Every structure is written in C-alpha cells, then in structure tokens.
Amino acid sequence: MKKAVFLAAVLAFASCKKESQEPFGKSSESTTETSSEGESAKATTPIDLGKEIFEGRGNCTSCHQPDQKVIGPSIQEIAKIYKDKKGDITTFLKGNADPIVDPSQFAVMQTNFAITKEMSDEELKAIEAYIYSNLK
Ligand code: HEC
C-alpha cells in the first residue's frame, strides 16, 4: 500500500516535471530548431571547429595571429586577400594551389602541408570558415 502511494507520487512528480519543462522549450512545434540545438550542443559550428583546429592540433596560431603579422600573415590579412582574389583556402591547404598572400615566404608555410593534407574536407572547410570569420 505504501509502495503504491510512493510510486504514484513519483509518477506524478515525473509527469509534472516533464510538463513544466515544456514551456521553457523555445517552440515545441519546430523540429528543426530542436535538432540544430542538439548539434550545437554535441560538436560546434564549423567556425568553432575551425578555431579549435587552428589553435590546437593545427598549431597554426604559432605563426598566424588574428590581427597582427608574426611569422606568417595575420588571419585577417589572409581572409581579406582570399576574399578579394577569390582564392580557395582549402585547395591551397591541400597543396594544390599557388600562394597568393606572401609567395616569398611560401616555403615556411609549405612545411605545414604535411599536417593539412591529412585533414578531412570537413576540417579544412572549418578552418576556411574560421579564417573568414575574422574578416571585419
Ligand atoms: C611555421 C609558421 C607557420 C605555421 C605553423 C602555419 N603557417 Fe600558414 N603561413 C606561414 C607563412 C610564413 C605564410 C606566408 C607565405 C604564403 O603566403 O604562403 C603563410 C600563409 C598561409 C596562408 C595563405 C597562403 C597564400 O595563399 O599565400 C594560409 C591560408 C595559411 N598560411 C594557413 C595556415 C594554416 C591553416 C595553418 C595551420 C594548419 C598554418 N597556416 C600554419 C607560416 C605558417
């Protein structure tokens, strides 16, 4: 008897909780919104992924700062020149395009192709998205 009451109380609590959560969801009709929320919680946007690779595994930040030249041109400069000249960053990073930012220093950049050639298209696209996200 006691058990049944307890169970009923738990059930009531659980269903009550579920109901009370619903108003907090943005809109229960929009399934697309819920699924995109799920994605962003799991991984990230391409820009975030690109940033992560750029600063982490790719180690690109050691030569490319967002807005000032260190060893390599700044990310902003790369983004600007690629946009102006309609360059293709992913093709460049695969080693299949000529440098257009600072060809005289290309040999320094070329050493990184060993890393970038191993990256998937998705990762290279993410890096590209991150570079363009620095455009002012
Ligand atoms: C050892 C220093 C160094 C590292 C590390 C480095 N770069 Fe570079 N990068 C350079 C230099 C120097 C240039 C300028 C030469 C050139 O334009 O090719 C350059 C140029 C570039 C360009 C412009 C290429 C062009 O068309 O001229 C891109 C895009 C780029 N780097 C992306 C990256 C990415 C992505 C990473 C990380 C995977 C990275 N770099 C890591 C030194 C580096």
Q: Who has greater pLDDT, 49 or 8? A: 49
Residue 120 lies in a domain: yes
Residue 123 lies in a domain: yes
Residue-wise pLDDT tens digits, 74-88: 999 999 999 999 999
Residue 32 lies in a domain: no
For residue 79, report the distance from its CA to the centre of ligand 1, in Å.
12
Question: Which residues sit with their C-beta closer than 6 Å to ligand 1?
Answer: 58-60, 62-64, 71-73, 78, 89, 92-93, 99-102, 105-106, 108-109, 112, 115-116, 127
Residue that the structure tokens 């000032």 belong to: 68
Residue 95 lies in a domain: yes
Residue that the structure tokens 């060809």 belong to: 103
Residue that the structure tokens 């659980």 belong to: 14
Contact 117, 47 (CB under 8 A): no
Q: Give the C-alpha separation, 76 to 82, whole Å.
A: 10
Number of independent structural domains in the chain: 1
Full-prediction pTM beyond 0.85?
Answer: no
Amino acid 31: pLDDT: 44
Return the CATH number at 69. 1.10.760.10
Residue 76 lies in a domain: yes
| 25-42: average pLDDT | 46
Amino acid 136: pLDDT: 78
Q: Give the C-alpha separation, 134 to 114, whole Å.
A: 25
pLDDT(117) > 90: yes
For residue 74, report the distance from its CA to the centre of ligand 1, in Å.
9
Residue 125 lies in a domain: yes
Q: Who has greater pLDDT, 105 or 13? A: 105
Q: Give the C-alpha separation, 105 to 36, whole Å.
A: 41
Amino acid 13: pLDDT: 52
Q: Which atom of ligand 1 is nearest to the CA of 87?
A: 26
Domain limits for position 105:
38-132
Residue 27 lies in a domain: no
Contact 33, 41 (CB under 8 A): no
| 24-51: average pLDDT | 61
pLDDT(11) > 70: no
Nearest to 34 by CA among 17, 22, 51: 22
Type of residue numbered 110: Q
Residue 85 lies in a domain: yes
**Residue 16: Cβ within 10 Å count:** 10
Contact 85, 119 (CB under 8 A): no
